[in-house]
Amino acid sequence: MPDLHLLSPKGFRAAAVHAGIKSKQTPDVALLICDKTASAAAVFTTNKVVAAPVLVGRRNIRSGKLRGIVVNAGNANACTGKQGLKDAERMCTLAASIAECKPSEILPSSTGIIGHLLPMEKLERGIIEAAQYLGSSREHANLFADAILTTDLVRKTASTEVKLGRRRITLAGVCKGSGMIGPRLDVPHATMLAYLTTDAAAPAPLLKKLLKQSADVSFNTVTVDDHASTNDTAVLLASGVSGAKLSSKSDQTKFAEALTDVCQSLAYQIAADGEGATKVVIINVRRAKSDKAAQSIARAIANSPLVKTAMHGNDPNWGRIVSAAGYAGVPFNPDTCILTLQGTKVFTNGTPVPFSSSQVSAALRKKEVTIDLDCRSGTGQATCWTCDLSKDYISINADYHT
């Protein structure tokens, strides 16, 4: 596999600089520009409290066309009233002057602390400075990925190539998210932001359909603390430069699978980098009454503080898992289910199964833990990614504002 990154799809450039919005000397203002108008789709938070850039982004994406994205970290521009809207629009105007397009062809994003007006003098200076460094190399892609981080410890990237007919297209993405993660993106959570690029050619309605489908089995199934953010956003830009069109069902299926792979990789990385996390916890729910029921059960288990702390302590306390499934608000019968921890059955048909607590506890010390719940009551299935809950999570969030 070639060495791929966010700017590997043809037709994109990016840049990022430190403008002083974040106290750390790391990039905090970034641009992603498409050399020509791209087909675009986006999904946003369903929180009733919505940040200004989301309001502007929802409006600007209606045309299904974008020339670029402008992002800042360190300030969410949420709960900032009319001035917040003006500031988000100003970000678009500045970025549009760089891309030589209309402000409505720019999508703005912000992430960071809620309830503070953007330091516009710093932000404007940062956008203008970033324009001088636009490029298409891995270095520029990495700087963009770094600029969107807040409490994240590592950058998160994913990419792949797909052959459509005689042409090969590239699909890549970056995201951020570590805490305040429980995205609910248009489909029936620090903030979850994801930016995806491809050089395939596709109409905006198809992109939106495929992005929603992928988000539903990736970003919408990862949770750190189930706190849906005011700023959650996922955007997909298609430059069309490769000349490969998603005209056949077969090509659409291949593209959809690749998009889901990239989104799921990014979602997994969010769980792995959860605030204070020491391990990823994968919850698989099988043979539930329906997919919706399976999703509810998996999410209830993933969000249980008792389950998450047990996973942190390597404690095979299966009762916490079964009881969480029971309050998920969907059909669930413990007398028919089988619960497995790290490959060891611990509960079957309403009855505990004898097992070695020390052996299972040792198995739970791994960096990836799997909880498998077979409901044996239908055909529904779902997977949810989360992380353990440690003392560090409390420290990070207790000190975040001050």
Which among 80, 150, 160, 191 is annotated as catalytic? 191
Q: C-alpha angle with apex 4: 3 to 10, nearest 5 degrees? A: 130
DSSP structure string for 34-84: EEEEEEEEEEEB--SS--HHHHHHHHHGGGSEEEEEEEEEEE---S-HHHH
Q: Is 253 a catalytic residue?
A: no
Q: Quick one: which of 42, 38, 41, 19 has its CA closest to 30?
A: 19
Contact 282, 383 (CB under 8 A): yes
- So which residues are the catalytic ones? 191
